[in-house]
C-alpha cells in the first residue's frame, strides 16, 4: 500500500505568552521518574539510588537524562509534629535530604512529588494509608522543606483537588508557583491536571511544563490515542521555559514492541516533549537503550525553533508529523498506524538532504520509507 502525502509547509506559528520567569527548563527536561517502574508500594530509596547509578553507568545521564524524580508514596503516613512532610521511615530510612545528596553525587538532579489538595493520587487509587500529606494549607512550609532538602524539580499533581477540596486548578497551581519563586533555590515546576482545563492555554506563566493528557499506559492503543490528542494541542505549543507534556515515556514497559517504542519516542521528540524514562534503566534491552539514548533523536527533542511539532497529514493507516529545526531544516515523522507494512511518503517543497535518524544514515532527497506496522521513521531535512 502506498500512502502519498503532498504537503505545503505552513509556518504560521502563533505568538506565545511569556513563559514562567524562573530561568529554568530552557529545553524540555529529561530524566527518570519512579512511577511507571515501581508505582507505589515498591518505591524505596534503594530503587532510586539504583536508578541514579544506572543513568550514570548506561550513558543516559550524559545523553541528557538529568532529573531523578521520586513520585507518589515516598511520604510517611502523617506529617511530623511541626507539620512538615517526612519520608516513610521504613522505605526511606535515611530521609530525602540524604537521597538528594546521593543523586547529586552522581552528577544528577533530584525531583519530588506533591499535590495541591489534601490527598495524593495513591491515597485515592492505591489505598495508600496516609492522612494530611497533601500541600493544602502547607504550601509555604512544603516549598521551604523542598528547598532545605535540595530539591531541583517538583511534580505537582492535581489528584481530584477540585472534587475533594473545592480548589480551582489555576489558583492552586499559582499558589505553589509563588511559594517556589520565593525560595533561594531554583526548582523546575511541573504541573499535572491531565489536560482537563486546557492548561496549554493558561499555564505558560504558571509552570515549566504541564500535562496535556491523562496517564499513558504501556500499550500501543494508549500511545496512539495520546499521539492523536496532541494534534489539537500543538498549535498552542509552549516556548523555551514552558512545555506541553504528553506524559512520561513507556519505552521498555508493557506490551510495546521495539518498533512501537521507537515510534512513541519519535513523536515525543518532534513534539518537544519532556523525556522521562519510566522503567528500570539497569534492565533496558539493547534496543530500548538505543532508542532512549539516540543522540540524533534527542537533538530533535531539544531543538525548539519557534514551533512544537504538528500533525501535517493523517489518514487510514498513517500519520505525518513535522517541526522546524534551528538552521532552517525540519524534522519529520512518518508513522504507520496500520496493521500491515506500508510505504509512507511526504512530498516537501524545496531541495533537501534527508537523514534517517534511527539508521544514522543519509537517504539523499527521498522522504519515503517502507514501515512495518506501528513503526515510524524519524527524518531530518537539511536545505541543500
- Give the chain's domain count: 2
Instruction: Please indicate, yes or no, whether residues 42 and 189 belong to a single structural domain of this protein.
Output: yes
**Which of 287, 302, 317 is the last residue before a domain boundary?**
302
Tens-digit pLDDT profile for residues 210-261? 999 999 999 999 999 999 999 999 887 777 899 999 999 999 999 999 999 9
Q: Are residues 165 and 270 in the same domain?
A: yes
CA 282 to each of CA 48, 49, 217, 360: distance values in angstroms, whole numbers, following the listed order: 12, 11, 21, 25
Say which CATH number the domain at 331 has.
Answer: 2.60.40.1180
Q: Active-site residue 215, yes or no?
A: yes
pLDDT digits (tens, 9 = 90+) for 148-168: 999 999 999 999 999 999 999
- Examine the pLDDT at 8 and tell me if it is beyond 70: no
Are 262 and 360 found together in one domain? no
Whether the pLDDT of residue 11 is over 60: the answer is: no
72, 88, 142, 157: which is the annotated catalytic residue?
157
The verdict on residue 196 lying in a domain is yes
**Same domain assignment for residues 256 and 367:** no
Q: pLDDT at position 6, please?
A: 40
Q: Are residues 95 and 132 in the same domain?
A: yes
**How many CB atoms are closer than 10 A to CB 84?**
13
Q: Enter the DSSP assignment of 14.
A: P
* Same domain as 342, residue 238: no
Taking the C-alpha atoms of residue 357 and residue 293, their distance in angstroms, rounded to an integer, is 12
Domain final residue, candidates 266, 282, 302: 302
The pLDDT, as a whole number, for residue 194 is 97
| DSSP annotation string for 317-341 | TEEEEEEE-TTS-EEEEEEE-SSS-
pLDDT single digits (tens) 363-377: 988 899 999 999 999
For the chain, helix, strand, coil in percent to 5 are 30, 20, 45
CATH number of the domain encompassing residue 269: 3.20.20.70
User: Residues 320, 232: one domain?
Assistant: no
pLDDT of residue 234: 85
Bridge partners for 243 per DSSP: 209
Query: With 70 as the cut, is the pLDDT of residue 7 above it?
Result: no
pLDDT of residue 306: 83
Residues 374, 228 share a domain: no
Where does a domain end: 302, 321, 343? 302
Given a cut of 50, is residue 1 above it in pLDDT? no
| Catalytic annotation present for 98 | no
Same-domain status, 228 and 298: yes
In a domain, 2, yes or no: no
Same domain, 358 and 233: no
Task: Give pLDDT tens digits for 34-92.
Answer: 999 999 999 999 999 999 999 999 999 999 999 999 999 999 999 999 999 999 999 99
Compute the average pLDDT of residues 168-175.
Answer: 98
Distance, CA of 303 to CA of 240 (rounded, Å): 10
pLDDT tens for residues 14-39? Answer: 445 678 989 999 999 999 999 999 99
> Domain for residue 8, yes or no?
no
Check 126, 215, 280, 356 and give the catalytic one. 215
**pLDDT tens-digit readout, 92-145:** 999 999 999 999 999 999 999 999 999 999 999 999 999 999 999 999 999 999
Query: pTM value?
Result: 0.95
pLDDT of 79: 98
* Range(s) of the domain holding residue 373: 309-383
Q: Are residues 92 and 185 in the same domain?
A: yes
Residues 316 and 363 in one domain: yes
Amino acid at each position: 500500500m502506498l500512502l502519498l502525502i503532498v504537503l505545503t509547509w505552513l509556518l504560521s506559528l502563533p505568538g506565545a505568552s511569556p513563559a514562567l520567569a524562573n530561568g529554568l527548563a530552557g529545553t524540555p527536561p529529561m530524566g527518570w521518574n519512579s512511577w511507571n517502574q515501581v508505582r507505589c508500594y515498591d518505591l524505596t530509596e534503594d530503587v532510586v539510588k539504583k536508578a541514579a547509578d544506572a543513568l550514570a553507568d548506561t550513558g543516559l545521564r550524559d545523553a541528557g537524562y538529568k532529573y531523578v524524580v521520586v513520585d507518589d508514596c515516598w511520604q510517611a503516613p502523617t506529617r511530623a509534629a511541626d507539620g512538615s512532610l517526612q519520608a516513610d521511615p521504613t522505605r526511606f530510612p535515611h530521609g530525602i535530604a540524604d537521597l538528594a545528596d546521593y543523586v547529586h553525587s552522581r552528577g544528577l538532579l533530584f525531583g519530588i512529588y506533591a499535590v495541591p489538595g489534601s490527598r495524593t493520587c495513591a491515597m485515592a487509587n492505591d489505598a495508600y494509608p496516609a492522612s494530611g500529606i497533601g500541600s493544602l494549607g502547607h504550601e509555604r512550609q512544603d516549598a521551604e522543606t523542598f528547598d532545605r532538602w535540595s530539591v531541583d524539580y517538583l511534580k505537582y499533581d492535581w489528584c481530584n483537588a477540585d472534587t475533594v477540596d473545592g480548589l480551582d486548578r489555576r489558583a492552586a497551581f499559582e499558589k505553589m508557583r509563588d511559594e517556589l519563586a520565593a525560595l533561594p533555590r531554583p526548582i523546575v515546576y511541573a504541573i499535572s491536571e491531565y489536560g482537563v482545563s486546557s492548561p496549554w492555554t493558561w499555564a505558560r506563566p504558571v509552570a515549566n511544563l504541564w500535562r496535556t493528557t491523562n496517564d499513558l499506559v504501556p500499550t500501543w492503543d494508549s500511545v496512539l490515542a495520546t499521539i492523536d490528542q496532541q494534534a489539537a494541542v500543538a498549535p498552542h505549543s509552549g516556548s523555551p521555559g514552558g512545555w506541553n507534556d504528553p506524559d512520561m515515556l513507556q519505552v521498555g514497559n508493557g506490551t510495546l514492541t521495539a518498533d512501537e517504542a521507537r515510534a512513541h519516542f519519535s513523536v515525543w521528540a518532534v513534539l518537544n516533549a519532556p523525556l522521562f524514562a519510566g522503567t528500570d534503566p539497569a534492565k533496558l534491552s539493547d534496543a530500548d537503550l538505543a532508542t532512549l539514548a539516540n543522540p540524533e533523536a534527542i537533538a530533535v527533542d531539544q531543538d525548539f525553533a519557534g514551533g512544537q511539532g504538528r500533525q501535517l497529514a493523517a489518514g487510514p493507516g498513517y500519520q505525518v508529523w513535522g517541526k522546524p529545526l534551528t538552521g532552517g531544516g525540519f524534522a519529520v515523522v512518518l508513522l504507520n498506524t496500520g496493521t500491515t507494512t506500508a510505504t509512507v511518503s511526504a512530498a516537501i517543497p524545496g531541495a533537501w538532504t534527508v537523514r534517517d535518524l534511527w539508521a544514522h544514515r543519509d537517504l539523499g532527497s527521498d522522504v519515503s520509507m517502507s514501515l512495518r506496522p506501528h513503526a515510524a521513521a524519524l527524518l531530518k531535512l537539511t536545505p541543500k
